[in-house]
Each structure stands twice: as structure tokens, then as C-alpha cells.
């Protein structure tokens, strides 16, 4: 077969990364197991319980309800679905900042709910006044983000939670990417800090688990009960997950990644990634680029089309935000040397363009 796996040495655009070696080994061991059928595959079900328990430790929840999902899209969709199905309104809607991940648009389309997107403030964070103004009696769910996809911003989570609670709406935090950085910052973002009902945190992003390993967590078992559809013939009586057959590799990989890395290795990674982001931001600023000062290890900056194309031609995987900035995510595989090589590419492109 002539296709080759993607090398990570020039990948700056992805929120996924190389799995931790222990997680990859666990994934290979449990490749043939199906956590969706615990009567046939009981051991991998215990690994899932372990992974969820550790995710509870990460997210401030003593007795978490939840599961290892196919990804953040499923987790976000399930949060909207739980809110839709438990809503008092006959036409439940979702209110969220424009910075939310695309999966909320997908969820709205699939689930048949309206999604009201509210412009963010000048620093790319949720505007709490605007969110409050957008909420009405139909609002079933308010969403905030702890580590946005485009700018790595953390919304004012406790304030948004208060707004949701006052309105009688549920509150979901999407920490799919941010969730393995935020335990090591001063932000208030999780179940212990605010009135969240549900949260997304993806082991297969910064957590270094293999795909597929998203995380869906709920404060109450009642949320999972609301998602459960009765099964007529499986030896389990109901199923809350969106998928049926599920990946043992993902579940075992998530359990191993968390066992190996929480909390110390994740803390080391955060420190290194944050330092890398600061370094990149400083180096870009010194070179005259407009840089959005990073809050979490993600750096957005202005970049001409010519330089963007030159970077891609040199093999860099780089992406743009909706407003046109180039965007570098300082994932675990991103080293200081990679960033300096990227800067060299930009330097050569600028020289080439002027000369």
C-alpha cells in the first residue's frame, strides 16, 4: 500500500498528536474488543470506568457520570441532545458564542434545534452581556468554551454558568482541547468551579490517547439516563452512547494515557507547550507579525497568503482561522526546534518575497 502515515514533524495545525507509547500499546492489545458489548467484552468495560474516574479527577467531579466517546463531536452532540430532551420548552434552543466548535452547528442540524450564536468580545472570548441578552424562555442550553479551537481562549466560565442558572438553562463547557492544559493554569473552568451540567474533554487531543477517545462527562447520572435508549435484546438493557459498536483501542488507549500521564506528565507538557507558545509569540512579534497574545498554548498571527503558501510548500501543515489569521497549536509533538524551523521558513519566505 503506497499511502504513508502522516509524519508529525511539520504538523502545526492539528489538535491531535502522536499517541503516548503506552496508550498505543494498550490500543493495539484491545483492538478487537468492543466496549459497546460489555457482556461479551467485560474487561474493556472496566478500563472505561477507570478512564472516566480519572477524567473526573481532571475536571473536579468526585463521582462522574460519563463515557469515552468517539470524539468531541459526539460529546458536544450528546450535551445538546440531553438538554433538548429535558427541556421545558417545546422548541428548545442553544445559545453559544460564535467561537464554539463547528460540532455545535452539526449537532443543531442533526438534533433539529436552533443554535443562536452570539458574537465574542474583542479578545475572542464569550461576551456575557450579549449571551444574557440572547437567552429567552426557549433556551435549553448555554455553551461556553475552555480553550477555543481558533484562538485557544477560555471563556468566563463561572459567569456564564450563573447566567445559565438564572435562566433555568443547562450549562455545557467544551474543554475538548483545553481540558489537559487547564488543570495547570489559574482559570476557573470545570465542575468544581462553576455550575456545569456537562463537559467535553478529549483524551485523543492533548491527552495523547489514540483516536477515537473523546470524553463526555455529566454531573448527574440523570443526564446519562436521559440519553439512554432501551435495547430489546442485548444483554445490556439500555445504551446511552451515540455509537453502538465502539473501539476497545480507544477506550484502553484512553485509560492507559490517563494512568501514565495524570497529573505529572500532563503538567510537564503544559509547561513546555506554554513556554513554546510564548517563545513563538515573541519571535513572531520581533519579526513584525501581528500576534494574538496566547492565553493557552495556541498562537494566532497575521500571515500573508504568499508566506502561508510558502510554509505549506515547505511541508508545514498550518491552518487559518475564520478571520484569516494563521494558527499554530503547540501540541505535545511540537518542539522548540520545530518552531524555530518554522520561523526559518517564514524568514526565507520574507526574504524571497522582497527580493
The DSSP string of 275-294 is HHHHHHHHHHHHTT--EE--
The nearest distance, CB 253 to a copy of itself, in angstroms, is 9
**Identity of the residue, 289 or 316, whose beta carbon is nearer to a copy of itself in the bound complex:** 316
Q: How far is the CB of 255 from a copy of itself (least distance, A)?
A: 7
**C-alpha dist (Å) from residue 232 to 37, 39, 78, 82, 226:** 14, 15, 22, 22, 17
- Of the pair 57, 259, the CB lying nearest a copy of itself is at 259
For the bound state, the minimum distance from the C-beta of residue 319 to a copy of itself, rounded and expressed in Å, comes to 6
**Which residue number, 34 or 195, has a Cβ lying nearer to a copy of itself?**
34
Facing residues of 292 across strands? 300
Q: What is the DSSP letter of 214?
A: E
- Which residue's entry shows cell 508545514? 316
Distance CA 169, CA 166 (A): 8
Sign of CA dihedral 221, 192, 98, 266: negative
Q: Tell me how far, at minimum, the Cβ of 181 lies from a copy of itself, in Å.
A: 18
Q: In terms of CB distance, is 53 or 111 closer to a copy of itself? A: 111
Compare residues 19 and 297 and give the one whose CB is closer to a copy of itself: 19
C-alpha cell at 112: 433539529
301 has which bridge partners?
Answer: 291, 326
Shortest separation between residue 150's beta carbon and a copy of itself, angstroms: 6
Amino acid at each position: 500500500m503506497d499511502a504513508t502515515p502522516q509524519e508529525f514533524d511539520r504538523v502545526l495545525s492539528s489538535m491531535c498528536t502522536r499517541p503516548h507509547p503506552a496508550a498505543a500499546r494498550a490500543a493495539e492489545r484491545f483492538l478487537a474488543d468492543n466496549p459497546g458489548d460489555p457482556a461479551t467484552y467485560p474487561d474493556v468495560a472496566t478500563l472505561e470506568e477507570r478512564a472516566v474516574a480519572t477524567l473526573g479527577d481532571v475536571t473536579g467531579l468526585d463521582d462522574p457520570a460519563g463515557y469515552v466517546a468517539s470524539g468531541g463531536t459526539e460529546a458536544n452532540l450528546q450535551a445538546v441532545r440531553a438538554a433538548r430532551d429535558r427541556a421545558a420548552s417545546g422548541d428548545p434552543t442553544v445559545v453559544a458564542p460564535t467561537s464554539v466548535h463547528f460540532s455545535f452547528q452539526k449537532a443543531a442540524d442533526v438534533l433539529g434545534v436552533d443554535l443562536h450564536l452570539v458574537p465574542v468580545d474583542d479578545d475572542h472570548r464569550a461576551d456575557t452581556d450579549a449571551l444574557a441578552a440572547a437567552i429567552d424562555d426557549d433556551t435549553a442550553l448555554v455553551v461556553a468554551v475552555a480553550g477555543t479551537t481558533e484562538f485557544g481562549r477560555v471563556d468566563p466560565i463561572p459567569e456564564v454558568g450563573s447566567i445559565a442558572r438564572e435562566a433555568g438553562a443547562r450549562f455545557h463547557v467544551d474543554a475538548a482541547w483545553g481540558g489537559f492544559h487547564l488543570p495547570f493554569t489559574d482559570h476557573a473552568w470545570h465542575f468544581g468551579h462553576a455550575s456545569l451540567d456537562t463537559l467535553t474533554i478529549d483524551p485523543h487531543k492533548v491527552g495523547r490517547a489514540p483516536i477515537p477517545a473523546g470524553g463526555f462527562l455529566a454531573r448527574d447520572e440523570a443526564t446519562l439516563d436521559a440519553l439512554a435508549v432501551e435495547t430489546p435484546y442485548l444483554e445490556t438493557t439500555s445504551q446511552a452512547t451515540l455509537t453502538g459498536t465502539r473501539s476497545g483501542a480507544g477506550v484502553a488507549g484512553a485509560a492507559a494515557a490517563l494512568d501514565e500521564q495524570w497529573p505529572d506528565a500532563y503538567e510537564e507538557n503544559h509547561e513546555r507547550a506554554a513556554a513554546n507558545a510564548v517563545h513563538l509569540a515573541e519571535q513572531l512579534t520581533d519579526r513584525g507579525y501581528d500576534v494574538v497574545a496566547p492565553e493557552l498554548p495556541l498562537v494566532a498571527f497575521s500571515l500573508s497568503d504568499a508566506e502561508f503558501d510558502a510554509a505549506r510548500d515547505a511541508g508545514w501543515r498550518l491552518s487559518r482561522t475564520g478571520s484569516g489569521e494563521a494558527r499554530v497549536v503547540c501540541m505535545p509533538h511540537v518542539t522548540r526546534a520545530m518552531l524555530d524551523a518554522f520561523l526559518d521558513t517564514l524568514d526565507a519566505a520574507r526574504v524571497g518575497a522582497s527580493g
